[in-house]
């Protein structure tokens, strides 16, 4: 029955239970697993690691590296079992988040393109074990990933031992979607030869020495579905402002009518913005992104999208069923790549991407906080937003102008944590409007961000702040004694409003 899934006959003897495979893990090990934005994560062995950590008398704590976030409540279950010593480079789990914010799990919040560069250079320690979900193992022992590639290829290449989870719920038809390419070690590295979104530069599977495959576990469980909310009136306005802006850029000769490839971050706003392009006049769009969400397939179905390149496919339950059952319909317009290729600065700069990511908050000068609530508490992580924003042609950050019914303004005098600074951010957009910061000095930026992006509830507060700060002088005027007044007021009263 598994002949088509494990085509290298010599490896069929490695099939074992998840519990037995998890016995390969020792306290203190560094473990890398597949999984990027809930897609293609290893679903069985990590839970057995958690069970061992709960049940055994000896401590079992590991460093867990992934592509990005996991589904399947894996991060919660590992956290509750106290099995996580250190976690990188991204997560979205509420329980793990609380443990990180209590200082119990050491979380290293990294640019998603950089984790495997550091591993390859031996700067994060040796990787003991990789656990990779696959649809199949080929005749030569090649591992065919499922709905994400993430960091799986490099994890498998560098780990001492590899566990493969063959997930029967992931259709074999996914084979052929992937394009596995890894840069050579430095020095002597050649250019990444990708010049168009649709270019294939690598191989369709992860080829490692088959004897490194220490165990094969059979699973049968779909990916956790996306938690993205549907578009609403505000996200539709944001999408509208952006479509209008890009039309304007085309009309001024700053962009070709055929837009450069788009990247859109994970989450509700970026997904809604992309969906908004379905009603735009733009044609033959392309995506060079990390995660392909429902919006990707909305655009395909609307006939607007010519090609999509990503590191994962993360869909709502309904879309997941439809796409996986009908993957043939999309497969010649899709490719899944390692995240160090999808997020590679070289390619992002070369293609001149339009990068659209979500801000938690932005300040009047265009600095963006993507990660830290109140400047202190980790939400998810920077993800790929830094890879894209620094090197893209247009770096757009989108947010609703207010949160919590107006008790929080997403436009503030100064961000208390800066993930993307004024040098990188080209456009801030909220449902109120859009500020194009390109070529503007900070004093000019402040005026346009306040007038175009801030909610009317907060405009006077921000105008007053800027006026008082500007009176003190400076290229980027601030009152350091009042820069966080909105944040401290919220901490004290539950609202940034006086």
The minimum distance between CB 55 and a copy of itself, in angstroms, equals 28
Token output for 25: 């893990």
Q: For residues 297 and 365, which CB has a smaller minimum distance to a copy of itself in the complex?
A: 365
Q: For residue 294, which of 261, 267, 257 has the smallest C-alpha distance?
A: 267
Would strands 354-358 and 394-398 be described as parallel, antiparallel, or unpaired?
A: parallel
Q: For residue 380, say whether it is annotated as part of any ligand binding site.
A: yes
Work out which of 58, 186, 405, 498 binds a copy of itself, going by CB under 8 A: 186
Torsion angle of C-alpha atoms 85, 89, 93, 95, degrees rounded to 10: 20
Stretch in the footprint of a copy of itself (CB under 8 A) among 8-16, 225-233, 450-458, 486-494: 486-494
The minimum distance between CB 187 and a copy of itself, in angstroms, equals 7
Q: Which residue bears the tokens 């997904």?
A: 271
Residues numbered 360-399 forming contacts with a copy of itself, rule: CB under 8 A:
367, 372, 374-378, 382, 386, 390-391, 393
Give the phi and the psi of residue 346 in degrees, each rounded to 5: -60, -45
- Catalytic site positions: 290
Q: For residue 391, say whether it is annotated as part of any ligand binding site.
A: no
The minimum distance between CB 492 and a copy of itself, in angstroms, equals 10
Residues 116 and 108: their CA atoms lie apart, in Å, by: 13
Q: For residues 459 and 479, which CB has a smaller minimum distance to a copy of itself in the complex?
A: 479
Residues numbered 97-156 forming contacts with a copy of itself, rule: CB under 8 A:
100-103, 106-111, 117-118, 121-125
The minimum distance between CB 274 and a copy of itself, in angstroms, equals 20
Q: For residues 313 and 364, which CB has a smaller minimum distance to a copy of itself in the complex?
A: 364
**What is the crossing angle of helices 233-251 and 268-276, to 10°?**
50
Stretch in the footprint of a copy of itself (CB under 8 A) among 14-22, 148-156, 247-255, 271-279: 247-255
Instruction: Decide if 100 contacts 371 (C-beta within 8 A).
Output: no
The minimum distance between CB 192 and a copy of itself, in angstroms, equals 7
Residues 227 and 38: their CA atoms lie apart, in Å, by: 10
Q: For residue 188, say whether it is annotated as part of any ligand binding site.
A: no
483 binds a copy of itself (CB under 8 A): yes
Cα maximum dimension of the chain: 76
325 binds a copy of itself (CB under 8 A): no
417 binds a copy of itself (CB under 8 A): yes
Q: For residues 31 and 205, which CB has a smaller minimum distance to a copy of itself in the complex?
A: 31
Determine the 3-state secondary structure of 359 from DSSP. coil
- CA-atom Rg of the chain in angstroms: 23
Token output for 325: 């059952």
Q: For residue 357, which of 323, 334, 380, 333 has the smallest C-alpha distance?
A: 380
Q: How many residues bind a copy of itself (CB under 8 A)?
A: 87
Q: What residue numbers does the annotated binding site cover?
A: 380, 384, 404
Residues belonging to the binding site for CoA are 380, 384, 404
């Amino acid at each position: 029955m598994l002949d088509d899934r494990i085509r290298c006959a010599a490896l069929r003897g490695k099939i074992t239970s998840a519990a037995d495979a998890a016995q390969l893990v020792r306290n203190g090990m560094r473990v890398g697993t597949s999984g990027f934005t809930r897609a293609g994560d290893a679903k069985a062995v990590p839970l057995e690691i958690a069970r061992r950590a709960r049940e055994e008398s000896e401590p079992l704590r590991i460093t867990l590296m992934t592509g990005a976030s996991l589904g399947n409540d894996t991060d919660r279950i590992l956290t509750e079992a106290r099995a996580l010593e250190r976690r990188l480079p991204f997560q979205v789990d509420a329980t793990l988040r609380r443990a990180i914010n209590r200082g119990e799990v050491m979380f290293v919040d990294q640019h998603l393109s950089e984790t495997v560069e550091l591993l390859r250079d031996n700067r994060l320690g040796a990787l003991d074990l990789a656990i990779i979900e696959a649809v199949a193992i080929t005749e030569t022992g090649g591992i065919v990933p499922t709905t994400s590639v993430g960091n799986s290829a490099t994890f498998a290449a560098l780990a001492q031992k590899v566990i493969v989870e063959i997930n029967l719920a992931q259709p074999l038809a996914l084979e052929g979607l992937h394009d596995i390419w890894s840069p050579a070690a430095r020095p002597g590295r050649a250019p990444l030869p990708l010049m168009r979104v649709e270019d294939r530069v690598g191989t369709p599977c992860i080829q490692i020495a088959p004897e490194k495959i220490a165990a094969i576990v059979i699973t049968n469980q779909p990916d956790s579905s996306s938690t993205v909310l549907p578009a609403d009136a505000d996200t539709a306005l944001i999408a509208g402002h952006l479509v209008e802006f890009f039309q304007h850029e085309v009309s001024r000769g700053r962009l070709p009518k055929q837009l450069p490839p788009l990247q859109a971050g994970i989450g509700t706003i970026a997904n809604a913005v992309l969906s908004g392009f379905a009603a735009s006049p733009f044609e033959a769009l392309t995506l060079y992104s990390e995660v392909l969400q429902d919006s990707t397939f909305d655009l395909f179905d609307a006939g607007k999208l010519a090609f999509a390149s990503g590191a994962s496919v993360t869909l709502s339950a309904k879309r997941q069923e439809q796409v996986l059952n009908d993957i043939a319909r999309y497969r010649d317009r899709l490719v899944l790549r390692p995240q160090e290729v999808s997020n590679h600065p070289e390619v992002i700069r070369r293609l001149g991407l339009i990068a659209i990511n979500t801000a938690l908050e932005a300040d009047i000068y265009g600095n963006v906080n993507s990660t830290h609530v109140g400047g202190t508490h980790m939400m998810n992580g920077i993800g790929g937003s830094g890879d894209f924003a620094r090197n893209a042609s247009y770096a757009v950050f989108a947010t609703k102008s207010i949160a919590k019914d107006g008790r929080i303004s997403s436009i503030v005098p100064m961000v208390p944590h800066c993930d993307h600074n004024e040098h990188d951010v080209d456009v801030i957009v909220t449902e109120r409007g859009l500020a194009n910061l390109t070529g503007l000095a900070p004093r000019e930026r402040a005026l346009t961000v306040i007038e175009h992006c801030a909610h009317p509830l907060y405009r006077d507060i921000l105008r007053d702040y800027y006026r008082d700060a500007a009176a003190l002088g400076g290229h980027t005027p601030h009152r350091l004694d009042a820069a966080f007044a909105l944040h401290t007021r919220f901490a004290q009263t539950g609202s940034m409003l006086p």
